[in-house]
Amino acid sequence: MKIVKTHLLKALITTAVVAALLPLLAGSLKRSEAVVTVVVVAKDMKFNQTNPTIYVRPGTKIRLILRNEDPGMRHDLVLEALGLETPIIKEGESAVLEFEVVDEGLFEYICSLHPVLMKGILMVSDQRWDQRTVSRGPAHSNQEF
């Protein structure tokens, strides 16, 4: 009988501890958000063939990967309004920017070496976008629209 009481007491204490910690654990799980990966390929003096608009929601954590597939050319990606830029990379190289944009807005991205030919928009908005206007495809991103 004493063994049963000891096990019961341990079970009650364990349950109480888990119940007390559960809200803390749930809160930390809510705070850890997924990172959206956006791949931008520099090729033929354009980003992703069309210099697309990249759509994200405010507060999204973004991992932007620039890949240079342009033979004999050097490229970078600059988001001047956000104070972000990749290093200049050669063909076959990649560079990564990781950031979060909290406020809504339109932010131009360019290749600083070819700004007239290579430029697009990062659109940060809570609005729901028309699926037909979104630049998509396996080379563009894994972002949710």
Q: Which two tokens stand for residue 81?
A: 């309004």
For 87-103, what is each residue's pLDDT tens digit? 999 999 999 999 999 99
Question: CA neighbours within 13 Å on the CB side: how many for 87?
Answer: 7
* Residues 51, 140: Cα–Cα separation, whole Å: 10
pTM > 0.85: yes or no = no
Rounded CA-CA distance 136/143 in Å is 9
Residues 44-91: tens digit of each pLDDT: 999 999 999 999 999 999 999 999 999 999 999 999 999 999 999 999
What pLDDT sits at residue 136?
Answer: 38
Range scoring the smallest mean pLDDT among 4-18, 36-50, 97-111:
4-18
Residue 54: predicted pLDDT? 95
Between residues 11 and 47, the one the model is more confident about: 47
> Which pLDDT score is estimated for 34?
83
- pLDDT tens track for 118-129: 999 999 998 865
Neighbours of 113 (CB within 10 A): 14
pLDDT on residue 87:
98
- Compute the distance between CA of residue 41 and CA of residue 55 in angstroms, rounded to an integer: 16
From residue 11, give the alpha-carbon distance in Å to each of 21, 43, 55, 107: 15, 62, 50, 56
Question: Is the model's pLDDT at 138 over the cut of 60?
Answer: no
Q: How far apart are the first and last CA of the chain?
A: 61
